[in-house]
Amino acid sequence: MRGPHNIIRLVRTLATMERTGAIGVVLEAMQAPPRIRAAARVLGWPFKWLGLKGDPALPPATRALTALGPAYIKFGQILSTRPDIVGEDMAEQLKYLQDKLPPFPVGIAKQTIEAELALPVDQVFSEFSEPVAAASIAQVHRARLAETGEDVAVKVLRPGIERAFRKDIDAFYFAARVIETLSPASRRLRPMDVIRHFEGVVMGELDLRLEAAAAAEFAANTEGDEGFRVPKPNWGLSGRQVMTLGWAEGIALADTAAIDAAGHDRVALGARVLQLFLRHALRDGFFHADMHHGNLKVGPDGAIIAYDFGIMGRLDDYTRRVYAEILFGFIRKDYRRVAEVHFEAGYVPADRDIDEFARALRVVGEPIFGMDASRISMARLLAYLFEVTERFGMETRTELILLQRTMVVVEGVARSLDPHINIWQVARPVVEDYIKTNVGPRALLRDLVQTARVLGRFGPKLPALVEAQLIRQSELPQPAQRQAHPAVWMLVGGALVALGVGLGALL
């Protein structure tokens, strides 16, 4: 229920941050303005006694987020990949949230598996380990199939996780509504739509059958990608609360010391992570949307192995082209074209000045080019980009939320492997390849062919549709008949296109 009782949840959030000492640490790490820091302390201190205690053995920020629950842990996972925003020390502390959370007992995991699969665990698996990784939503066990001897990873949902997420999401909805009410200017950011999108993503992540389907589709799409592997699901041993995948042996991508000791090229790995993400987003329109360190390994052969497919992103053809043109414009420093694409896509209101917008975008892009990545303050760039969106009345695009969030995470992973990486240089070949294939005369011809095929399928119906439209038009008054002419000609044009397709097929 999204009533005022959620105020207690939000107050407890602030109180927990104050009680654990996280509020000052986090705001300082993010270089928040002194006024914001003071306001947060003043609001949090009176309710400190309401805050959750958390695990005193953990650093303040990690302690607070683990105490507050899975939705907050998800947020911490994102920040753990961005030392340029929260600082090296904070990012290192937050890596704990990726796969080292307290596990639940193996006995409960076995009970869940037996209830889900209707089979005794000892009959299915000859070996079943203690948890090898525990994250915010589920934990993973290594097991061996009794029938074949194959090593597999068995993922089991945490008990009561759906209810816990719903409590947090309800509180987020309430907060979003309050923000929209008290600050009309915030409505362009569409906080309610953002939370609604987040809810859809999370609820999908809580059904492991959907994750198994995503893993299978992702594996099929990327089968030909050199230096990249995706474990395939075992459908017979998967259900809503349990998923079984092939075991992926490798070094966690966060363990740079082990990667170096194994002789892998971290610079090449950093570039490959970024390029793979862009290739999957642009080429396939289906990408891994949770590519933090905890979900990536380096195999013995140097291949990147991805797992945990609970959050996947999709982009339609049009959005992919818009995204590629924006990236390509930045790469070529053609800020005027970047601005035009934003206006053409409707991302910026048509009544704004396109030249002023292009100049504002130059301020975002220019500091990145020719500068060592270690000298770029992403926090300052993001702050300025937010100012730009506010100034030009840009609304949040919910279809791009996952893409934007994942891009931030992937860039953070790449920079942890290669602190000097230049994201634009690395992205250029992937984006150029997509532009050559999907933007321009070749793409226009392909679009026309696809349109003709669609119209061709409706060919038998077109004569009747044209006749019905003509009869309907003849019954209208004269002025209305003139307004209806375009609809008739569209139908006639469709019929001609369908005829052309049919003749082409015959010839």
Q: Which of 312, 284, 307 is nearest to 294 (CA)?
A: 307
Q: What is the pLDDT of residue 382?
A: 54
Query: Would residue 290 show up in a list of annotated catalytic residues for this protein?
Result: yes
The neighbouring-strand residues paired with 233 are 245
Active-site residue identified among 84, 170, 225, 290: 290
Specify if 401 maps to a domain: yes
Q: What is the pLDDT of residues 449-477, one digit of tens each?
A: 666 666 666 666 666 766 676 677 666 66
Residues 329, 366: one domain?
Answer: yes
Residues 362, 410: one domain?
Answer: yes
> In this model, does residue 9 exceed pLDDT 60?
yes
Specify if 373 maps to a domain: yes
Specify if 32 maps to a domain: yes
> In this model, does residue 302 exceed pLDDT 70?
yes
Are β-strands 312-314 and 286-288 bridged in parallel, bridged antiparallel, or unpaired? Answer: antiparallel
Q: Which of 390, 413, 439 is the last residue of a domain?
A: 439
Residues 279, 381: one domain?
Answer: yes
Q: Which of 439, 454, 487 is the last residue of a domain?
A: 439
Residues 452, 421: one domain?
Answer: no
**Cα separation of 490 and 451, whole Å?**
13
Q: What is the mean pLDDT of the chain?
A: 79
Q: What total number of domains does the chain contain?
A: 4
Residues 434, 455: one domain?
Answer: no
Range of the structural domain that residue 491 is part of: 443-506
Specify if 181 maps to a domain: yes
Residues 304, 400: one domain?
Answer: yes
Residue type, 291: M
Q: What is the pLDDT of residues 203-233, one digit of tens each?
A: 777 889 999 999 999 999 999 999 999 999 9
Specify if 1 maps to a domain: no
Residue bearing the bigger pLDDT, 485 or 212: 212
Q: What is the pLDDT of residues 374-426, one digit of tens each?
A: 666 555 555 566 667 767 877 666 556 677 778 878 888 898 899 888 877 88
Residues 144, 216: one domain?
Answer: yes
Q: Distances from the Cα of 346 to the Cαs of 188, 341, 396, in angstroms?
A: 13, 8, 12
With DSSP H G I counted as helix, E B as strand and the rest as coil, what are the percentages for the chain, rounded to 5? Answer: 65, 10, 25
Residues 266, 402: one domain?
Answer: yes
Residues 126, 176: one domain?
Answer: yes
Q: What is the pLDDT of residue 505?
A: 43
Residues 402, 448: one domain?
Answer: no
Residues 189, 256: one domain?
Answer: no
Rounded to two decimals, the pTM is 0.71
Q: What is the pLDDT of residues 12-36, one digit of tens each?
A: 777 888 888 777 777 676 666 666 5
> In this model, does residue 500 exceed pLDDT 60?
no
Q: What is the pLDDT of residue 475?
A: 65
Rounded mean pLDDT, 101-118: 92
**Cα separation of 416 and 253, whole Å?**
9
Are β-strands 296-298 and 304-306 bridged in parallel, bridged antiparallel, or unpaired? Answer: antiparallel
Q: Which of 387, 412, 439 is the last residue of a domain?
A: 439
Residues 55, 204: one domain?
Answer: no
